[in-house]
Amino acid sequence: MQRGKISFGKIQLNVNKAPAEPKANENTAGDEQEESSQAGSSSGGGGFKKMDKKQMIRQIEDVAEDLESQHLKEVMGISGFGRKAAKVFDINEQIEKARITRPGLDRNKEEPSQKAEEKADDEEEDVIGPLPPVAAEEKDKSTKDGAGKEDSDDESLSDDDSDDEQSLAKRIPYTHEVQMQHGSRAVLALAGDPSGARLVSGSIDYDMCFWDFAGMDSGMRSFRQLQPCENHPIRSLQYSVTGDMILVISGNAQAKVLDRDGFEKLECCKGDQYISDMSRTKGHVAQLTSGCWHPFNREQFLTAALDGTLRIWQGLKAKEQVQVIKTRAQGGLRTNAASCNFNRDATLIAAGCVDGSIQTWDTRKMFVNTTHCVRGAHQKGSEITSIVFSYMGQQLATRSNDETMKLWDLRQFKQPLHTWTNLFSRYDTTDCCFSPDDRLLVTGESLPKDQTEANLYFYSTRSYKEVQRIPVSNSHIVKTLWHPKLNQLFVSCGNGTIKCYYDEHRSIRGAKLCVVKSHRKRQPMEMVGVSQIITPHALPLFRQEKSRSSRKKMEKARMDPVKSKRPDLPITSGQGGRVASSGGTLSSYVIRNLGLSKRVDDDQDPREAILKYAKDAAENPYWIAPAYKQTQPKAIFSEKLPADEPATKKPKTESDK
């Protein structure tokens, strides 16, 4: 006999309903009966009964949904998910709260006093005739106070501007000055380590100097000097973002990468100058003009040259270019880039061209079309010697040989924000730079004819006014570097000097480390004599030389051709010079094999030298007789045949007459 499954009926749990309190003992029994009847009706009879499997699953899901909804209501702090009921507000209560917390409560207290003053003024205005002297003085005072307030507002604005400019002037670190001597020629390149520990400089006389602030004393001497590009001037230098490599841009077509100590790590490839399409070549084919590192990729850098291209190089081992960017003039013709740079987040590459245009490319797109192109940004034919992005990345500064410096906003790139003029420049590497807070723009000038000193100019990027002017040197100013970590200014000049300006309180490390160290003179080294051990029976290999004086040692070394590096002596023997004496020609080979290579004196008679061997040749024939000894032992000579020719003309004698 098959029996159905026994299961519990649906148990309804009403969690929202609060438990009912019994009102009286009388109604408890009736309430219990009603509740039991309701439960029975809701549960479909109550008790145990047979249920289908589907109904049981549905009931379990309903109970679970009720519990989840109740938990969600408690978490969200709401009473239900049903229809939103309109809130009921008590208007009187809201009005009372507004009266207590209204913002104009104090003003209402002042209104009666203001009304009283207005009434008094009206009464005064109604007075006909001249006022008494006391009232007139009070009125004059009130009018003066009103006008004084307006004037004070205007003056406060102007004072704020002047205070701002004064604070900018105080931020410039130029209270102290230190001079470093690079050489005697113009210093065209200057770069600082990102950490501020070192400085490198390059000049027109091919030299590159390394300066270490921690190792220098007050003498300010460089610890290393070298010529990385042989006979090419150093045009630009820059440290990588990590500070372990230096990019060297010279007058050559090949850029170089040096390590921190000056040892070469990479030399770029040189392109084929006979290929007309510059994108097909492996490298630049003309003189380099500028270059810079990627802002955060330590193995990628950018170079510009006079072949009309910008090239991006990647990796120190591959030595290959990644991308070639061509600069174009107005009609699509080729133009050369005089300067180039990345912005701070490496999304833009900017180039200042010789035709006076500024061109930018987005690094996230193809380099076919420019992102921005401003034609006529500077005078045509004058190089844009420097193009610099601000630290915030929204502004761009350009310096040109047309004696101007311009400030641009990348959001409105058609016209410059401001143009500063009368900034004479002789060198095509003269640059400008932003202050670390982007409030100032700094540049230098070349020495004009009518001045005795070249000045360093500081301009505000907001008011565009000249904040400060510092006389630097009686020569040209080429490079300007404001180091953001050290807060020090480094200025390179045309007479081979580098000047460092710093503030005693605002600047840190850098040149301040060197100034406090006194210059020490090198003490002569003391030589300690080595005791000599006499070993008379030692082998020649282990025998120690006798101690001699330095003079005798020097004379002995002088006689040694290896130690004295004696040049080759002139040739004193041989025929026909060095080549003939060494037997490099056919004639010398024949003479050497025939045994006739003995030298013949020039003053000897050649006839006597030949006849000296006549007797020996007749007795011992060597040339002809031995060859015919077997075939023709007896020599047979040709007989004289009668000739048809007339007899030789005889001289006339006296008998013939």
Six-digit token pair at 614?
């006549």
Return the higher-pLDDT residue of 52 and 562: 562
Six-digit token pair at 48?
């145990």
The reply to whether 562 falls in a domain is no
In terms of Cα–Cα distance, which of 502, 511, 492, 510 is closest to 197?
510
State the DSSP string of 434-451.
E-TTSSEEEEE----TT-
The SS3 call for residue 480 is strand
How sure is the predictor about 35, in pLDDT bands with cuts at 50, 70 and 90? Answer: very low
pLDDT of 68 over the 70 cut: yes
**How far apart are alpha carbons 24 and 227 in whole angstroms?**
112
* Bridge partners for 245 per DSSP: 259
Cβ contact 499:473 at 8 Å = yes
Cβ contact 421:378 at 8 Å = no
Who contacts 340 (Cβ-Cβ below 8 Å, separation ≥6)? Answer: 290, 291, 292, 302, 303, 304, 310, 349, 350, 351, 352, 387
The reply to whether 571 falls in a domain is no
How sure is the predictor about 2, in pLDDT bands with cuts at 50, 70 and 90? Answer: low
Q: Would you tell me how many other CB atoms lie within 10 Å of the CB of residue 471?
A: 11
| CA torsion, ordered 315, 318, 320, 323, to nearest 10 deg | -40
The reply to whether 486 falls in a domain is no
| pLDDT score of 147 | 52
Q: Lowest mean pLDDT of 141-145, 226-230, 499-503, 504-508, name the range.
A: 141-145
Q: Would you tell me how many other CB atoms lie within 10 Å of the CB of residue 304?
A: 29
The SS3 call for residue 471 is strand
Cβ contact 287:304 at 8 Å = no
| pLDDT score of 343 | 93
Q: Lowest mean pLDDT of 162-166, 275-279, 449-453, 455-459, name the range.
A: 162-166
pLDDT of 435 over the 80 cut: yes
**How far apart are alpha carbons 420 and 408 in whole angstroms?**
12
**How far apart are alpha carbons 408 and 348 in whole angstroms?**
15
Return the higher-pLDDT residue of 646 and 210: 210
Is the model's pTM score more than 0.75? no
| pLDDT score of 94 | 78
Six-digit token pair at 377?
């940004």
**How far apart are alpha carbons 191 and 239 in whole angstroms?**
7
Cβ contact 424:431 at 8 Å = no
Question: Based on the structure, what is the number of domains in the chain?
Answer: 1
Residues 329-375 pLDDT 10s: 988 889 999 999 999 999 999 999 999 999 999 999 988 889 999 99
Q: Lowest mean pLDDT of 90-94, 300-304, 576-580, name the range.
A: 576-580
**How far apart are alpha carbons 174 and 157 in whole angstroms?**
28
Cβ contact 311:283 at 8 Å = yes
Cβ contact 466:172 at 8 Å = no
For 444-464, what is the mean pLDDT? 91
State the DSSP string of 131-186.
PPHHHHHHHHHHHHHHHHHHHHHHHHHHHHHHHHHHHHHHHS--SEEEEEE--SS-
The SS3 call for residue 350 is strand
Cβ contact 285:276 at 8 Å = no
Q: Which residues of 2-35 are buried (b: 16+ CB within 10 A; e: fewer)?
A: eeeeeeebbeeeeeeeeeeeeeeeeeeeeeeeee
Cβ contact 427:186 at 8 Å = yes
Return the higher-pLDDT residue of 641 and 40: 641
Q: Which amino acid is at 151?
A: D
For 177-203, what is the mean pLDDT? 93
How sure is the predictor about 45, in pLDDT bands with cuts at 50, 70 and 90? Answer: very low
| pLDDT score of 11 | 52
Who contacts 95 (Cβ-Cβ below 8 Å, separation ≥6)? Answer: none
- Chain mean pLDDT for the chain: 78
Counting residues of the chain whose pLDDT is more than 90, the rounded percentage is 39
| pLDDT score of 610 | 85
For 45-68, what is the mean pLDDT? 70
Q: Which amino acid is at 590?
A: V
Six-digit token pair at 154?
């205007």
| pLDDT score of 46 | 46
For 604-627, what is the mean pLDDT? 80
Q: How many CA atoms lie less than 13 Å away from 292 in the CB half-sphere?
A: 19
**How far apart are alpha carbons 249 and 339 in whole angstroms?**
12
Q: Lowest mean pLDDT of 20-29, 350-359, 453-462, 535-544, name the range.
A: 20-29
Q: In degrees rounded to 5, what are phi and psi of residue 234? A: -85, 120
Q: Environment class of residue 489 by beta-carbon count within 10 Å: exposed (0-12), middle (13-18) or buried (19+)? A: buried
**Can you give the three-state secondary structure of 190-227, one letter per residue?**
EEECCCCCEEEEEECCCCEEEEECCCCCCCCCCCEEEC
Cβ contact 7:50 at 8 Å = yes
Residues 5-33 pLDDT 10s: 555 554 554 545 444 444 444 444 444 44
The reply to whether 404 falls in a domain is yes
Kindly list the distances between the CA atom of residue 439 and the CA atoms of 162, 387, 393, 396, 397, in Å, as whole numbers in the listed order: 15, 17, 13, 13, 13
Who contacts 437 (Cβ-Cβ below 8 Å, separation ≥6)? Answer: 171, 391
47-51, 106-110, 253-257 — most confident range: 253-257
What's the chain's Rg over C-alpha atoms?
A: 52
Return the higher-pLDDT residue of 94 and 87: 94
For 584-595, what is the mean pLDDT? 67
Output the domain CATH number for residue 264: 2.130.10.10
pLDDT of 310 over the 60 cut: yes
Q: Residue 413 CA to chain centroid, in angstroms?
A: 24
For 263-280, what is the mean pLDDT? 90
**How far apart are alpha carbons 184 and 69 in whole angstroms?**
88
Cβ contact 488:498 at 8 Å = no
Q: Lowest mean pLDDT of 106-115, 232-241, 298-307, name the range.
A: 106-115
Q: Which residues of 118-149 are buried (b: 16+ CB within 10 A; e: fewer)?
A: eeeeeeeeeeeeeeeeeeeeeeeeeeeeeeee
Cβ contact 497:179 at 8 Å = yes
The reply to whether 260 falls in a domain is yes
The reply to whether 68 falls in a domain is no
Q: For the chain, first and last CA: distance in Å?
A: 188
Six-digit token pair at 156?
């406060």
| pLDDT score of 233 | 93
How sure is the predictor about 204, in pLDDT bands with cuts at 50, 70 and 90? Answer: very high
Domain range for residue 251? 188-434
pLDDT of 468 over the 60 cut: yes
The reply to whether 139 falls in a domain is no
Q: Is the C-alpha dihedral spanning 162, 166, 169, 171 positive or negative?
A: negative
Strand ordering across the sheet containing 198-203: 187-192, 198-203, 208-212, 224-226
How sure is the predictor about 451, in pLDDT bands with cuts at 50, 70 and 90? Answer: confident
pLDDT of 569 over the 80 cut: no
Counting residues of the chain whose pLDDT is more than 70, the rounded percentage is 69
pLDDT of 420 over the 90 cut: yes
**How far apart are alpha carbons 246 and 190 in whole angstroms?**
11
In terms of Cα–Cα distance, which of 427, 462, 414, 411 is closest to 441?
462
The reply to whether 394 falls in a domain is yes
pLDDT of 41 over the 50 cut: no
